[in-house]
């Protein structure tokens, strides 16, 4: 069996993720279902805080596979992504052997003992029965060369280390790539992957997420928050609030013992939901009472 979890339909994915605190809509669940069934990498794009990274975490919790996370950044290279040799330990070994009056054979230094395994190698050469979940997070931050390199790896899930030989995955890891779209991921890489754009959740889903992720927040407050967030998102802000901010906001309000979302409650907690001064100004200009009213009207 490829995956230890039984999936026969998209509904199984919805249920499996929900059991691990991730509420996926049908579009996302379908993409995940296909990625698992066809064993193809899944590229998830979407604005900040919509739940891209969490998909991989929830998949790991659900399948029981180890989560191997490769956080991309400008300048990341193979030594951070695949493997490198532990020079200081090799040196120590060399000295110790020489002190013992023996000659060092080169092979000895380039053995698995001195190999530092990074996420991609670990994802390909995994031990254990369950394929790991490989999360290549924020791939848009890496540069072109690294993307090309990644493309090669995602094509055949094999890595050659000159001194040791070729490692290849018995079963490809369940692979999730995320991008905030600070730049476009190249078509060649996209072609390797299934693709899904995660949009902000609608009111119902966001409320359901709040119930799961912030269970201590009173129901009525959670409803008002979910509603107000959808109003804020329609305001053409520089950085519309993501789900993470919705959760923070609801928890902040609850921590301040506010059980209603009124003007003063918004006023004192605006910094948990809007992290740019311009956005805060924009919302204040729009008027806090207007936000309260629109939120109430939306889901009266
Ligand atoms: N559909 C969902 N079901 C449950 N929780 C969710 C969902 N979407 C988002 N969340 C919550 O929102 C938080 C933020 O999600 P996550 O970190 O995955 O966002 P992201 O898209 O990776 O953001 P960034 O682009 O900033 O990295 C998660 O910790 C999770 O608690
Ligand atoms: Mg993320």
User: 137 with 53: CB under 8 angstroms?
Assistant: yes
10-73+124-159+169-197 is classed in which CATH architecture? 3-Layer(aba) Sandwich (3.40)
Question: pLDDT category, 2, cuts 50, 70, 90?
Answer: very low
Considering only CA atoms, which residue is closest to atom 16 of ligand 1?
Answer: 51
Q: How confident is the model at residue 168 (pLDDT cuts 50, 70, 90)?
A: very high
Is the pLDDT score of 266 beyond 50? yes
Nearest CA-CA partner of 42 in 18, 19, 15, 13: 13
Please write the tens of the pLDDT for every residue from 70-112.
999 999 999 999 999 999 999 999 999 999 988 888 888 999 9
> Whose C-alpha lies nearest to ligand 1, atom 5?
22
Ligand 1 site-directed mutation target among 25, 53, 275, most atoms within 8 Å of CB: 53
pLDDT reported for residue 300: 62
User: What is residue 4's predicted lDDT score, i.e. its pLDDT?
Assistant: 65
Residue 186, both tokens:
């190249």
Query: What atom of ligand 1 comes closest to residue 25's alpha carbon?
Result: 1
- Phi first, then psi, for residue 49 (nearest 5°) are 75, 20
- Alpha carbon separation from 60 to 5, 39, 64, 130, 286 (Å, rounded): 11, 15, 5, 10, 42
**C-beta of 14 in contact with ligand 1 (< 6 A):** no
* List of residues 6+ apart from 231 with CB closer than 8 A: 291, 294, 295, 298
Asked if the model's pLDDT at residue 3 lies above 60, the reply is: no
51 lines ligand 1 (CB under 6 A): yes
Q: Answer yes or no: is pLDDT of 56 > 60.
A: yes
State the distance between the two ends of the chain, measured CA to CA, in whole angstroms: 49
Which atom from ligand 1 is nearest to the alpha carbon of 201?
1
For 125, list phi and psi in degrees, rounded to 5: -105, 60
Percent of the chain with pLDDT over 90: 87
Q: Is 48 in the pocket of ligand 1 (CB under 6 A)?
A: yes
Name the packing angle between helices 243-255 and 203-213 (round to 10°). Answer: 60
**CB contact at 8 A, 211 and 168:** no
> What are 288's two structure tokens?
């806090």
Does the beta carbon of 49 sit less than 6 angstroms from any atom of ligand 1? yes
Atom of ligand 1 nearest to the CA of 205: 1
Residue with tokens 């939120």: 295
For residue 151, is pLDDT > 80? yes
Which atom of ligand 1 lies nearest, measured to the CA of 50? 21
**pLDDT for 21-41, tens place per residue?**
999 999 999 999 999 999 999
Residue from 243, 247, 275 whose mutation best tests the ligand 1 pocket (most atoms within 8 A of CB): 243
Q: What percent of the chain has pLDDT over 70?
A: 98
17: number of Cβ within 10 Å: 21
Tell me the ligand closest to 44's alpha carbon. 1
Average pLDDT over residues 220-225: 95
Is ligand 1 within 6 A of the CB of residue 52?
yes
The full set of domain ranges for the chain reads: 10-73+124-159+169-197, 203-293
Cα–Cα–Cα angle for 25, 20, 7, rounded to 5 degrees? 70
Residue 99: Cβ within 10 Å count: 8
| Distance from residue 104's CA to the centre of ligand 1 (Å) | 51
Helix 288-298 and helix 219-233, axial crossing angle in degrees, nearest 10:
110
CA distance 266 to 75: 41
249 lines ligand 1 (CB under 6 A): no
Mean of pLDDT values over 185-202: 95
Nearest to 123 by CA among 179, 71, 82, 64: 82
Asked whether the predicted pLDDT for residue 284 surpasses 90, the reply is yes
């Amino acid at each position: 069996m490829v995956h230890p979890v039984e999936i026969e339909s998209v509904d199984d994915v919805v249920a499996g993720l929900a059991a691990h605190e991730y509420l996926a809509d049908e579009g996302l669940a379908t993409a995940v279902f296909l990625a698992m069934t066809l064993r193809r990498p899944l590229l998830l794009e979407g604005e900040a805080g919509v739940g891209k990274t969490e998909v991989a975490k929830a998949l790991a919790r659900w399948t029981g596979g180890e989560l191997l996370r490769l956080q991309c950044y400008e300048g990341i290279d193979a030594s951070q992504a695949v493997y490198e040799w532990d020079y200081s330990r090799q040196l120590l070994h060399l000295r110790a052997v020489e002190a013992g009056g023996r000659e060092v054979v080169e092979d000895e230094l380039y053995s698995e003992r001195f190999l530092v395994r990074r996420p991609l190698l670990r994802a390909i050469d995994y031990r254990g029965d369950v394929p790991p979940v490989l999360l290549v997070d924020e791939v848009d931050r890496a540069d072109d060369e690294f993307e090309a390199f990644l493309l090669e790896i995602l094509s055949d899930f094999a890595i050659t280390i000159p001194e040791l030989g070729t490692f290849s995955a018995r079963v490809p890891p369940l692979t999730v790539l995320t991008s905030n779209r600070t730049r476009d991921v190249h078509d060649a890489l996209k072609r390797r992957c299934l693709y899904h754009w995660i949009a902000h959740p609608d009111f119902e889903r966001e409320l359901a997420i709040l119930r799961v992720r912030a269970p201590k927040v009173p129901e009525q407050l959670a409803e008002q928050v979910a509603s107000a967030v959808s109003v804020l998102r329609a305001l053409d802000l520089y950085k519309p609030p993501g789900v993470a901010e919705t959760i923070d906001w609801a928890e902040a309000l609850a921590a301040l013992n506010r059980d209603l979302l009124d003007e003063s409650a918004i006023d004192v907690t605006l910094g948990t939901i809007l992290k740019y001064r311009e956005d805060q100004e924009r919302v204040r200009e729009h008027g806090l009472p207007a936000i309260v009213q629109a939120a109430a009207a939306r889901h009266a």
